Amino acid sequence: MATGDVTIVVQVEGGAAKTATIPSATRINALAWLNRNHAGTEDDPNLTDATWSVYLANSAANGIIHAAEKQLISAAAPTTPTFTAAT
């Protein structure tokens, strides 16, 4: 791993840690893309390495929560009741 590279580690309790490494050039490009619409002012600051790591962790957590919510909605969706019509 080189200076500036990003390592993402995910570990489910009791399991083995899984890691992914992102090269520093990719990190720089990602920051540039995320900062493209920020003014870089006090009211609209650009992401820094420190704030990007928070953004990245929160983004991953939000993705997991969103998937869980979709599953809960899917599991709770009522099925259309059927009946045999009277004749």
pLDDT tens for residues 2-45?
888 999 999 999 999 999 999 999 999 999 999 998 888 888 88
Do 20 and 7 form a contact (C-beta atoms < 8 A)?
Answer: yes
Q: Give the Cα separation of 8 and 21 in Å (integer).
A: 6
Residue 82: both structure tokens together? 């059927």
What is the pTM assigned to this prediction?
Answer: 0.69
pLDDT (0 to 100) of residue 86: 60
